[in-house]
Amino acid sequence: MLNDLLQKIEDRTAKVGVVGLGYVGIPLAMRISEMGLPVLGFDILPERIRQMDEGISPIRHIPDAAIAAMRDRGFRATADYSRAAECDALLICVPTPLDKHREPDLHFVTATMDSLAPHLRAGQLLSLESTTWPGTTAEVLAPYFTRAGLIPGETAFLVYSPEREDPGNPDFDTSRIPKVVGGDDPTSQAAGVALYSAFIDTVVPVSSTRAAEMVKLLENIYRAVNIGLVNELKIVAQGMGLDIFEVINAAATKPFGFKAFYPGPGIGGHCIPIDPFYLTWKAREYGIHTRFIELAGEVNAAMPDYVLQKTIQALSARGIAMSNARLLVLGIAYKRDVDDVRESPSVHLMESLRKWGARIDYSDSNVPVFPVMREHSFDLASVPLTPETLAEYDAVLVLTDHSDVDYDMLREHAALIIDARGRYSGVSDPKIVSA
């Protein structure tokens, strides 16, 4: 079985199914296609299938031409999961959110496996890429193999290889980000390493699926904890009349022992606000309380309220009640130059501003219309950022510092700026309030 798969990979005839055509799945499918392997994409959203079929990119930083080029190389997208039987490898790239109790929600993974299960066959490699708790691959996915009459490492192969996409980062595309691969038996491990080596420059094997799952959590917990630290230090520094951005930039000149992290209005995206809680949940099974992780989560989750209070104070100092204020939120994506609003602190803050009675608009060229979200609903479209529109608002809240914004024009024409991103660090202007 293994030799057959390895030969197909070497011959570039191994068909790879990418399940979940989003921020992770699409770049992955593009890279696999670029390296000459046939790719079949799976998704449950008819609109996503239509976009891919028509060569339209659903992701801002991926051009339409890249999707069209992938189609010209033979890529097809489908919602027909029976076609999984055609594939020699299946890479699962579906969301793993938290439920309302902040516990892991694997229903996208299990629903995907329910759809794939009738079509699993001998000789296939299955790889989970979604972030999850250590033990998911062995405890949740492996039983699907067993029920299908397959044995991992003997008649089929099972690995975990965490996604490491950084949307909008031009310095690291899929091919250049080292890929961690973990299998629970030597044969699955060999199959996983061979497959990923066919389209990723550097593959990093680890001893098990659990180790690989823990790697991903460590990476994101590292970021969450350090961001929580600088968010807390920002509050301390502002209380002392210090510019935290000046302090961080000076500290970053140290050539060893320090890595710069920057504060903001909170944390967002599909990883950093969510992934640490996958480990805290699993750790409770072992009687372990992850105090450090949970404290960082509390600090980061509180940052939108900190910006809210700074906004209330700044408006009050100008004789404006929040209930009468008209506010413009600048940037609703969770980070600079992307169109992803998942878990965006901007959206959480907009909810709070609305509860206080403020009239809210937003400006974000990356997100022309406020998207449909599971927990948030705003009937809004992005307003143009011009001197005329700025004159209509009591304050502008800089929550995502996209690079296409004219910040000099903003400073000249805005009545009040609440700067939660340090865009105006070092600027002395009474109408700019650091938050």
* Nearest CA-CA partner of 109 in 83, 82, 90: 90
Length of the chain (residues): 435
Active site residues: 271
Q: Which residues, at least 6 apart from 107, have a Cβ–Cβ distance to it below 8 Å?
A: none
Q: How many CB atoms lie within 10 A of CB 369?
A: 10
What is the helix (H) or strand (E) element at residue 34, kind and residue range? helix 25-34
* Nearest CA-CA partner of 381 in 398, 411, 360: 360
Supply the DSSP symbol for 100. T
- Buried b or exposed e, range 387-421, using 16+ CB within 10 angstroms: eeebeebbbbbbbbbbeebebeebbebbebbbbbb
Q: Which residues, at least 6 apart from 293, have a Cβ–Cβ distance to it below 8 Å?
A: 221, 224, 225, 276, 277, 279, 280
Q: What share of the chain is helix, strand, coil (3-state, %, to 5)?
A: 40, 15, 45
Sign of CA dihedral 19, 22, 27, 30: positive
Structure tokens at 59: 């992701």
Match 């008819």 to its residue by tokens: 46
* DSSP per-residue letters across 12-24: T---EEEE--STT
**Checking DSSP bridges between strand 157-160 and strand 179-183, what pairing results, if any?**
antiparallel
Q: Which residues, at least 6 apart from 275, have a Cβ–Cβ distance to it below 8 Å?
A: 131, 216, 217, 220, 221, 224
Q: State the alpha helices, DSSP H only, in 134-255.
A: 136, 142-147, 186-197, 209-239, 244-251
